[in-house]
């Protein structure tokens, strides 16, 4: 088979790789139809997160080719979608819907083979994969653009809204104009928020957020956004804030703009974020919660909403590439000309 191979920062290519084989009775082998390029893959591509030479990628949909002897819920020919990490499904944390805390959890392309490839071996397959109500022949570019965001970015945005405790009638600010931020803005509206404002730096991405129904505010890292947020919201600050970047400036902005006794959910993986002085939260009675999204927990409901037309996150995917054009896809996302790209594996 063929798949992406990360060699060193700034260098990624397509190589011939060994075909995956069943190694454990709970495994399945999936032939991947579409895979995503995620913004978090850029941390590796840019050399900001250590990553050895090897496969990469953690978002995919495909068709089950082979199943291990202990697999009970999947059979060859099933069309499936994967969350960005696998988990065993049997521990207390998995049963609580907190699969990232599973002792046997791992992320594709980090703790396992990369998913930007034509096939992959999936461990703990019964607990990890979710079957899709479409035949493989029905999975085209348009449907893939609706489904791939569910593997990670839309589930992560949804988790940020959950962590921020967004309720019906709330005013919500989202920090970050990437795919996760725009997903969080959509998720906040789905949770019943009265007003959602997304803060970002790129005009073209703010337009996408506006298409998704959010108010937008273009901000600069050099200036406090608080006065502009107050003006936009009629003199008040938002009840809830979802931070979707993971950098110090974004974290500071989230804590600055939330109203007293409000709450902040953060799902941007922190990179270089300093310690938070307790009085910064205590003095304003701000609640703060963050963590890795349990995408497997959210997937069944999100898929059902796509099936019944209640959710269409396809506007998050603005580029579709063939596997041979992998390097072009990374360059587009790295340079900011693409919001999020997916790869055809056929």
Model confidence band, residue 107 (pLDDT cutoffs 50, 70, 90)? very high
Instruction: Write out pLDDT tens, residues 149-177.
Output: 999 999 999 999 999 999 999 999 999 99
Average pLDDT over residues 59-75: 98
Token pair 């910064």 in the structure block, residue: 280
Contact (Cβ atoms closer than 8 angstroms) between residue 237 and residue 213: no
Contact (Cβ atoms closer than 8 angstroms) between residue 166 and residue 185: no
Distance CA 135, CA 63 (A): 9
What distance, in Å, lies between the first and last C-alpha atoms of the chain? 11
Average pLDDT over residues 85-107: 98
Token pair 């992959």 in the structure block, residue: 120
Average pLDDT over residues 262-278: 93
Structure tokens of 310? 């209640």
Structure tokens of 129? 């994969």
Token pair 């959890």 in the structure block, residue: 105
Structure tokens of 145? 């653009």
Write out the DSSP string of 194-243.
Answer: SEEEEEES-HHHHHHHHHTT-EEEE--TTS-SHHHHHHHTTT---SEEEE
Please, what are the domains in the chain?
2-152+294-344 (3.90.180.10), 154-290 (3.40.50.720)
Average pLDDT over residues 40-64: 93
pTM: 0.97
The pLDDT assigned to 50 comes to 85
Contact (Cβ atoms closer than 8 angstroms) between residue 248 and residue 271: no
Beta bridge partners of 3: 15, 117
DSSP-derived secondary structure letter, 249: H
Average pLDDT over residues 229-251: 96
Model confidence band, residue 272 (pLDDT cutoffs 50, 70, 90)? confident
Average pLDDT over residues 19-36: 98
Q: Which residues of 228-242 are buried (b: 16+ CB within 10 A; e: fewer)?
A: bbeebbeeebbbbbb
Contact (Cβ atoms closer than 8 angstroms) between residue 26 and residue 126: yes
Percent of the chain with pLDDT over 90: 95
Burial classification of residue 215, based on how many CB atoms lie within 10 Å of its CB (0-12 exposed, 13-18 middle, 19 or more buried): middle
Distance CA 278, CA 152 (A): 31
Structure tokens of 167? 């309720």
Average pLDDT, the chain: 96
């Amino acid at each position: 088979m063929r798949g992406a191979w990360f060699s060193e920062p700034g260098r990624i290519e397509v190589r011939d790789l060994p075909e995956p084989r069943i190694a454990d009775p709970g495994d399945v082998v999936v032939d991947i139809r579409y895979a995503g390029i995620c913004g978090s893959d850029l941390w590796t591509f840019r050399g900001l997160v250590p990553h050895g030479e090897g496969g990469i990628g953690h978002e995919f949909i495909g068709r089950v080719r082979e199943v291990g002897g202990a697999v009970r819920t999947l059979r060859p020919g099933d069309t499936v979608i994967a969350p960005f990490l696998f988990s065993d499904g049997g521990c207390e944390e998995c049963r609580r819907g907190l699969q990232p805390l599973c002792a046997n959890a791992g992320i594709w392309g980090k703790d396992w083979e990369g998913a930007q490839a034509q096939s992959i071996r999936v461990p703990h397959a019964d607990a990890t994969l979710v079957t899709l109500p479409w035949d493989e022949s029905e999975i085209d570019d348009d449907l893939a653009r609706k489904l791939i965001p569910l593997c990670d970015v839309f589930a992560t945005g949804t988790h940020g809204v959950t962590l921020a405790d967004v309720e019906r009638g709330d005013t919500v600010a989202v920090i970050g104009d990437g795919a996760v931020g725009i997903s969080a803005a959509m998720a906040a509206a789905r949770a019943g928020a009265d007003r959602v404002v997304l803060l970002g730096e790129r005009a073209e991405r703010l337009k996408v957020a506006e298409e998704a129904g959010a108010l937008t505010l273009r901000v600069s890292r050099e200036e406090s956004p608080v006065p502009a947020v107050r003006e936009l919201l009629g003199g008040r600050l938002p009840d809830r804030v979802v931070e979707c970047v993971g950098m110090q400036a974004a974290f500071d902005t989230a804590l600055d703009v939330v109203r007293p006794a409000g709450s902040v959910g953060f799902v941007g993986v922190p990179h270089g974020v300093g310690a938070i002085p307790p009085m910064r939260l205590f003095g304003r009675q701000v609640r703060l919660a963050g963590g890795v999204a349990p995408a497997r927990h959210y997937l069944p409901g999100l898929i059902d909403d796509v099936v019944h037309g209640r959710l269409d996150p396809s506007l998050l995917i603005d580029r579709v590439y063939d596997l041979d054009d992998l390097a072009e896809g990374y360059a587009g996302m790295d340079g900011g000309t693409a919001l999020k790209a997916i790869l055809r594996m056929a």
